[in-house]
Amino acid sequence: MRRGLAVLVVLLSIHPAEGRGQNSVYGVLGIGFPGRPISTRARATAGGIASFDARSPLNPASVAGFRRVMVTASTGTTLWNYTALDSAVDGLSQTRSPMGLIGGWFRGTPVSFALSFSTYAERTWDLVTEDTVTIRGESIASTRRLKSNGGIVDLRAALAYRLSSRLSLGAAFHMLGGSSSLTTRRNFSSVDYISYVESNRVAFSGLGVSAGLVATLDPRLTFALAVRSDDRLEIEVDSAPAGSFDLPWSFVGGMFIVPVPALRFSSTVVRQTWSDMAGIGAANAFDTWDVSAGVELGGTQGTTKLPLSLGFRYAQLPFSPTTEQPREINFTGGSTLLMAADRVMFDFSVERILRRGGGAEEWAWFLSAALTIRP
């Protein structure tokens, strides 16, 4: 038990000197780098359409948009480099499957459903630090490597009820789970001491609920609201309880404007109360704002024309080794190809990302693709 707690504190408090292969330098503290429960189509608008998009597990009321069975899966590749303290690392890459969903409706009823998985937090990184330790009164130079691989997954079951053509309500139940393998290795400069290696498995579990609505005030103007509450995140190290932490509340608002069918503006705002997790290890935790806006041009449903999607996003990150809160800016673009009489959709998006704050800077490309089948 005590060893597990010590490992967890080291995991959450270490400051990187060099990194190899981690998802983000900002994912080392807290519970990891927060995921985004949005589809590839929504990513192309920087998340602007996410609170209305039935394929994005963000607002359960959007599930009412399913009028036929649909299965979708996505993949994402990150290419990035960063600077932190006195280190500069480039040429990093990683490919993941960040989201999958199956949805549909109960024929003859106003009720729709969706089952999905998405990344709640990414916990993959590889850090190397150099320091000096004192052993038997002698100062020994050493190198410590801390490697983690895994993450926390959000499993969601959602139902939506279409009260009318203008109003839909939805609710969802969330199960959080996952694990990360953690390996600590320390090498000493003196031949009198052998290398020290320890491996641990960190497991996570938690529950949550969410609810939302989508209201059309005018054929050209639609609003969305959603709220999510997650319980405490339970943590085990090698099957031994290692504590629990409060997870944030999430509040979502969105606006969708369609002046003409081939021109669609959307915006989504997300507020999360991550400051409830302040004091975990050496991490400073902050409440966050996530504001995104996007536009879709052309490609109305029923055509095979390629629509053009563009977007911009400003977001704050929840964890920092300093009192400065990191922030993120995204510029995005993408499109959707409709095939087989609209029964098959291929979405793709490209994101340019800049993260800065807390003593580090990070530049990244994120390439996403998704295949959706509607039998």
Which DSSP helix (H) or strand (E) runs through 122?
strand 111-122
For 61, phi then psi, to 5°, come to -70, -25
Angle at CA of residue 16, ends 11 and 17, nearest 5°? 140
CA distance 102 to 152: 20
Q: pLDDT tens across 225-271, in order?
A: 999 999 999 999 988 888 888 899 999 999 999 999 889 999 999 99
Going residue by residue through the chain (375 aa), what tens digit of pLDDT does each one get?
333 333 333 333 333 334 444 568 888 888 889 999 999 999 999 999 999 999 999 999 999 999 899 999 999 999 999 898 777 888 888 888 889 999 999 999 999 999 999 999 998 888 777 888 777 777 888 888 888 889 999 999 999 999 999 999 999 999 999 999 988 888 888 777 888 888 889 999 999 999 999 999 998 999 999 999 999 999 999 888 888 888 999 999 999 999 998 899 999 999 999 998 876 644 789 999 999 999 999 865 444 467 899 999 999 999 998 899 999 999 999 999 888 888 899 999 999 999 999 989 999 999 999 999 988
State the first-to-last Cα distance of the chain, in angstroms, to the nearest integer. 51
Q: pLDDT tens across 182-211, in order?
A: 888 888 887 778 888 888 899 999 999 999
- What's the confidence (pLDDT) of residue 208? 97
CB contact set of 5 (below 8 Å; sequence gap of 6+):
237, 242, 243
Tokens matching residue 53:
């998009």
Which DSSP helix (H) or strand (E) runs through 241?
strand 240-246
CA distance 19 to 257: 43
For 7, phi then psi, to 5°, come to -60, -40
Tokens matching residue 1:
């038990």
Q: What is the CA radius of gyration of the chain?
A: 22
Which DSSP helix (H) or strand (E) runs through 41?
helix 40-44
Nearest to 227 by CA among 248, 251, 245: 251
Beta bridge partners of 126: 147
Query: Can you say how many angstroms the Cα of residue 278 is from the centroid of all Cα atoms in its chain?
Result: 19
| Three-state secondary-structure class, residue 65 | helix
